[in-house]
Amino acid sequence: ERGFDHTAIEPRWQAAWEDADVFRIDDDAEDPEYVLAMFPYTSGSLHMGHVRNYTITDAFARFERMRGESVLHPMGWDSFGLPAENAAEERDTNPRDWTMQCIDSMKEQLTEMGFGYDWEREIATCEPEYYRWNQWLFKRFREEGLVERQGAELNWCPSCETVLADEQVEEGEAPEEPHGDGGAVEVCWRCDTPIEHREMDQWFFTITDYAEELLEALDELDGWPNNVREMQRNWIGKQEGASVAFEIPGYGEVDIFTTRLDTIYGATYFSLAPGHPVAQEIAEDDEDVAEYIHEAEQADEDDLDVTSGVFTGEYAVNPATGEEIPVYVADYVLTDVGTGALYAVPAHDDRDHEFAQYHDIDIVQVVEPTEDADVDPEDVDVQEEAYTEDGLLVNSGEYDGLHSEEAREQFVEVFDGEHRTEYNLRDWGISRQRYWGTPIPMIHCDDCGYVEVPDEDLPVELPEFVHTTGNPLDAAEEWKHVDCPDCGGDAVRETDTMDTFVDSSWYFLRYTSPDLEDAPFDAERATDWMPVDQYVGGIEHAVMHLLYARFFTKVLDDTDLLEGVREPFTNLTNQGMVLGEDGHKMSKSRGNGVSPQRIIEEYGADTARLFIMEAAQPEKELAWSAEEVQSAHSFLQNVYRLAEEYAEGEVETGDAGADIADYVAREIDATAARATEEYEQFRFNHALQAVRELVSLLRRYEDATTPDAEVLERGITTAAKLLAPVAPHVGEEIWDRLDRDGLMADADWPSAEAPEDYAVARRLVENTREDVRDIVDTVGIEDPQTVTLAVAPEWKHRVVDVAREADNVVPAVMQNEELQRYGEAA
């Protein structure tokens, strides 16, 4: 039986790596390469998305390690969250036991995939040793004035009398109208009662204090994909505008926020958010308004009806025209945006236009397109549709003809306003009415109000889990009732727990000192080891996790827990989706999933890893293909057998002529150089393509001649090493076959010194991809070998094409065996 048996070699090398502590990194390592994958949520088993994510970081970490870098490549568990509570309910166990089981089985899977982590640095966010620092940091943030208690809208089940997390709200049918219009309502997952929305006080981190810095620093994050930076920019949503006061007789001056002060002459009505103090004041004497506000509070913010609103009977004075315009209370005006009040210009704003048409309000045009605009002023009919572009002012008194931009500038003074910048970014509400999370370290005392749990009493540990309808922490009477730390009187613990995004906002720091008992992390080491050099994870975290982690890092730096670390992740890669063989995202419901376990059993981890890395660049979608999996497996067997046959003395070696040996030697160096460069750029598939080419050359070398032993052996070890970050078990097996000392994981990366002419040619390819002819001319077609070395496979056809066109060089090119193949194929 030739070839390797993956079921035998994979566990063997996994054990060997562990015995030799290959992936351990010392605390005193200086500024290691920090390679990190987003840690998994403890769902119970790895899916292909995980496997892809971790294969990328593992390959890169192994590559850097073989290059002689010290590498920090840790792993941990994002292990708090509602699904564990649900699983515990379903299985009649508790979230802790369930989570620990999940961790055990996921860890086993990671090991079977051959991923090399420093397990000494393993962390689990559900351990008191970890979450106590969430509590400690919450207190430090509070000292910095970054924690506030504010009202927030929550889902409330009137039947269970409990707050529901968003995930606990389902679409259902209102029970009292079974033959209703079929419209879906939101219902409680447990009892199907339609839910209500209630305003309740919650704990917030005031991330908005950092809005400007979080926005500005994005410009310098050039190791991040542009789309993620753009998503963060939009999320932060900076708007530069102005605030101006409008008089509402009987209620005084009300400030509005606008980004279109140039349109003020066109304001034909005025709108207040339901939560605006003046709206509330009006409601005191106006039943219709009171009822509207009440309904608006019940409604779900997410499905806004732009036309919804109620006339208050009051009028505001437009300071530009002196005219009185009707005041509405309208749902589309958000209480916590700007000032919660706006003047509306139906002619130039889409929402205002829809509202005005519905409520039959005047539409007055005050801006028309400039001469060089795409639209003809004649073609603009604001009665039909709002014109939302800038332009020249009309119907604006003495300011007619002024450009919008100038008008915005001038009007701030004219109408006694103020420049004002607004952000879409909201403060981060961290309260969750759930059990399986970090208890918020606060105690409520009727006399003293909210009092912090003293540092020496941290962690506030979770009590035993009980099965109950609401939040188990509310039912934990013994745990809940404590003495007030200030006055010693009867007091009650906060029963909300923290959003699990708090856990993931700083876990990358904990890896630097996972067992530290008197601080969340060692400030000096964290400062030295941070930022993460390569961070890899899903695009679904583009905004929340990645923004929160940036926020935490900045706060920690400002509070001197870090020194001069303003950003957590220097380079970010979002791996693309894994699709099933049918081209759809792998999912349980479609039944098109491929389980990592099955692939490991059938073909081995190396095959799975190789397939994943060859099939697409990390950012691209990857479609599963049984055929390509098979091809990856055959390739690995082929490389292995090449080594095996050589090691067993089955290859007759000798002196086949210096020319050919020289050529092969140059190809070996060139491949190492090219693969190295591709690894550095995260273009693993190109690196692997180069290795495949080398292996086929070595096969031809061996078949067609009596190869030089030294060159052949160097070729085999080079190919195996270049493959090792992706297929580490096979790498070790070959290393062993060749009787080398130690482990390949510890071996040196092949020298990336390419032959000089190769390097020149390579640069040329990079610089002149567009013009193969230039390459051919410049490197000199008399030396077709250099051309071969220089050009990526996809270009070799073009080299041949160019050579054909310039027929004087055809014979020269065709002397080159490699190019001949491309010539024949063409």
By CB under 6 A, name the binding residues for ligand ANZ: 239, 257-260, 263, 273, 333-334, 337-338, 340, 342-343, 345, 348-349
Output 196 or 447, the one with its CB closest to Zn ion: 447
Which option in Zn ion, ligand ANZ, none does residue 484 bind, with CB closer than 5 to 8 A by kind?
Zn ion
Give the shortest CB-421-to-ligand ANZ separation in angstroms.
11
Give the shortest CB-229-to-ligand ANZ separation in angstroms.
20
Which option in ligand ANZ, Zn ion, none does residue 447 bind, with CB closer than 5 to 8 A by kind?
Zn ion
Which option in ligand ANZ, Zn ion, none does residue 65 bind, with CB closer than 5 to 8 A by kind?
none
**Do the bridges between strand 341-344 and strand 622-623 make them parallel or antiparallel, or are there none, so unpaired?**
unpaired
Q: How far apart are CA 487 and CA 820, in angstroms?
A: 90
Which option in ligand ANZ, Zn ion, none does residue 319 bind, with CB closer than 5 to 8 A by kind?
none
Output 258 or 689, the one with its CB closest to ligand ANZ: 258
Output 45 or 239, the one with its CB closest to ligand ANZ: 239
**Number of other CB atoms surrounding residue 189 within 10 Å:** 16
Which option in Zn ion, ligand ANZ, none does residue 448 bind, with CB closer than 5 to 8 A by kind?
Zn ion
Exposure string for 91-117, b = 16+ CB within 10 A, e = fewer: eeebbbebbeebbeebbebbbbbbbbb
Output 211 or 723, the one with its CB closest to ligand ANZ: 211
Q: How many CA atoms lie within 13 A of 766 on its CB side?
A: 9
Give the shortest CB-346-to-ligand ANZ separation in angstroms.
9
Output 111 or 335, the one with its CB closest to ligand ANZ: 335
Give the shortest CB-268-to-Zn ion separation in angstroms.
54
Helix/strand/coil for 375: coil
Contact between residue 244 and residue 414 where contact means Cβ atoms under 8 Å apart: no
Phi and psi based region of residue 563 (left: phi greater than 0; alpha: psi -120 to 50; beta: remaining): beta
Q: What are phi and psi of 305, to 5 degrees?
A: -110, 115
Give the shortest CB-260-to-ligand ANZ separation in angstroms.
4
Contact between residue 328 and residue 288 where contact means Cβ atoms under 8 Å apart: no
Exposure string for 680-701, b = 16+ CB within 10 A, e = fewer: eebebbbbbbbbbbbbebbeeb
Contact between residue 471 and residue 495 where contact means Cβ atoms under 8 Å apart: yes
Q: How far apart are CA 793 and CA 192, in angstroms?
A: 61
Which option in ligand ANZ, Zn ion, none does residue 680 bind, with CB closer than 5 to 8 A by kind?
none
Which option in Zn ion, ligand ANZ, none does residue 25 bind, with CB closer than 5 to 8 A by kind?
none
HEC profile of 395-419: CCHHHCCCEHHHHHHHHHHHCCCEE
Q: What are phi and psi of 418, to 5 degrees?
A: -140, 140
Give the shortest CB-245-to-ligand ANZ separation in angstroms.
14
Phi and psi based region of residue 531 (left: phi greater than 0; alpha: psi -120 to 50; beta: remaining): beta
Output 485 or 538, the one with its CB closest to Zn ion: 485
Hey, which bits of 92-161 come out as E strands?
123-124, 147-157
Helix/strand/coil for 549: helix
Output 208 or 592, the one with its CB closest to ligand ANZ: 208
Give the shortest CB-513-to-Zn ion separation in angstroms.
36
Query: Which residues are at the interface with Zn ion (CB under 5 A)?
Result: 445, 447-448, 484, 486-487, 489
Which option in ligand ANZ, Zn ion, none does residue 343 bind, with CB closer than 5 to 8 A by kind?
ligand ANZ
Q: Which two tokens stand for residue 381?
A: 């009919």
Output 342 or 800, the one with its CB closest to ligand ANZ: 342
Which option in Zn ion, ligand ANZ, none does residue 486 bind, with CB closer than 5 to 8 A by kind?
Zn ion
Output 100 or 306, the one with its CB closest to ligand ANZ: 306
Which option in Zn ion, ligand ANZ, none does residue 101 bind, with CB closer than 5 to 8 A by kind?
none
Output 349 or 503, the one with its CB closest to ligand ANZ: 349
Q: How far apart are CA 404 and CA 399, in angstroms?
A: 10
Give the shortest CB-91-to-Zn ion separation in angstroms.
41
Give the shortest CB-357-to-ligand ANZ separation in angstroms.
15
Give the shortest CB-142-to-Zn ion separation in angstroms.
17
